[in-house]
Chains A and B, each alone.
Chain A
Amino acid sequence: MIATDTERELEFQAKIDRGEVIEPKDWMPERYRKQLIRMMSQHAHSEVVGMLPEGNWITRAPSLARKAILLAKVQDEGGHGLYIYSAAETLGIDRGEMIDQLHTGKAKYSSIFNYPTLNWADIGAIGWLVDGAAIVNQTALAKCSYGPYSRAMIRICKEENFHHKQGYQMLAYMMRGTKEQQEMAQDAMNRFWWPALMMFGPSDTDSPNSAELMRWKVKLHSNDDLRQRFIDRTVPQAEAIGLKIPDPKMKFNETTRHYEHGEIDWQEFKNVVSGNGPCNRERLRARVKADTDGKWVRDAAEAYAKKHMN
């Protein structure tokens, strides 16, 4: 008996509604496959491009301990990229194709990485705010309907907790330091706070794919809900170490038990997403250069493998 696509689609939806997980060989609607490839490759690219702003500071870390921590974190991000690329490959796309899409500017990555890291405190702010926001997103994705993606997220979340905490600890340390160190930390906070909030994407009323992705349990919470979750847990952490939230409208609502925030500048977000952020061009250039410069290493490994096969 051959099922029609509509029947298959109903069965697929029923499976998801029952809370079952979709595995690579299971039948899935073409659009589910496409949407996941788009999301997962964007996510993998973000991990990889995310190494660049932090990589800038590895040679300038103020102590050997900080250097070791930063190296370990950046190596983790490379690993995250690999987990997600290989999870995305189970959907029938080749890693080389995804990487080409990144290098030719066809694929997107998280806009946060198009902001520069201007001082050492930025490394703390990235760990605490950027990885903190990523954890909120990724914890939700760990329960998504696609098995390989969800398993990659579970692995990643464990490692993100180290990224998050080391960043916060670093800022906490600076906030107990000299006046200059405190100002440095506050300056980093001022520049990264709003872009971190934008990481959750536009408000759901402006997010065209949301309804479909939620029906398929690829997305389990709205962008605004996740953003709120991040704000609620982060504001008290900022207050505890004396950092000010650069939002005069931020206040705690006693009735809802949530923080309310000021308007997000979505024009800036659109601008950065469409390629005009402070570092878009530089990031792509660095990626392509790393790929080109590393070619001889890959060629050598391949030649070595061939030689030993015979």
Chain B
Amino acid sequence: MSESNIPTNQWKLWEVFTQKKSGLPHEHAGSLRAPDAEMALLNARDVYSRRNEAVSIWVVPSECMVSSTPEDVGSFFDPANDKLYRHPNFYKTPDGVKWTS
């Protein structure tokens, strides 16, 4: 993703997500520039899937992406730090009980 504020003579920036095969999640593949969604999809196919790397492609205008920032990574994620009881290994079972998970 680009954070550039420089005025550009280039087309809009898009983020490309590809799915390797059905059942797998879409993954960020990279970005590209295109004037509209249709061209963005066609370009994404030609740039990121010339060898069947994808069975499905998402393109999203980069300006629509919202993300966490590295600076507040600590405070943003720390609510999860002290909650060990969210994990199954926090709990002990009585001796002799067989527990498969």
Contacts and interface: CB of A to CB of B under 8 A. Distances in A.
Interface of A: 23-27, 72, 75-76, 79, 82-83, 86-87, 89-90, 92-97, 148, 151-152, 155, 159, 298, 301-302, 304-305, 308-309
Contacts of A83: 30, 47
Interface residues of B: mostly helix, strand, loop or mixed? loop
Contacts of B13: 86, 89
Interface stretch (B3-11, B82-90, B92-100): B3-11
Contacts of B11: 298, 301-302
Interface size class of B (residues with CB under 8 A): 20 to 34
B36 A304 contact: yes
Given A75-B50, A152-B30, A92 B36 contact: no
Interface string B31-43: 1110110010000
Given A90-B3, A93-B6, 20 more contacts: A23-B70, A24-B2, A24-B3, A26-B70, A76-B50, A79-B46, A82-B47, A86-B30, A89-B4, A89-B13, A92-B2, A92-B6, A94-B6, A95-B33, A96-B10, A301-B35, A301-B36, A301-B39, A302-B11, A305-B36
Contact of B67 (A25, A26, A89, A305): A25
B55 interface: no
Contacts of B32: 82, 86
Contacts of A72: 50
Contact of B4 (A75, A82, A92, A302): A92
B22 interface: no
Interface in B8-30: 8-11, 13, 30
A301 B67 CA distance: 30
Interface of B: 1-4, 6, 8-11, 13, 30-33, 35-36, 39, 46-47, 50-51, 67, 69-71
A94 B31 CA distance: 13
Given A82-B47, A86-B30, A151-B30, A94 B36 contact: no
A40 B97 CA distance: 59
Nearest to B15: A86
A295 to B, nearest CB: 11
B22 to A, nearest CB: 21
Contacts of A86: 2, 13, 30-33
Contacts of B35: 298, 301-302, 304-305
7 contacts: A25-B67, A83-B47, A92-B6, A97-B6, A155-B30, A159-B51, A304-B35
Contacts of A87: 30
Contacts of B69: 25
B36 A309 contact: yes
A184 B24 CA distance: 49
Contact of A96 (B1, B9, B51): B9
A97 B3 CA distance: 15
Contacts of A79: 46-47, 50
Given A94-B8, A301-B35, A302-B11, A89 B2 contact: yes
Contacts of B39: 301, 305
Nearest to A25: B70
Nearest to B14: A86
Select the residue from A76, A83, A86, A298 with max chain B CB neighbours within 10 A.
Answer: A86
A26 B11 CA distance: 26
Contacts of A298: 11, 35
Contacts of B36: 301, 304-305, 308-309
A308 B35 CA distance: 11
A94 to B, nearest CB: 5
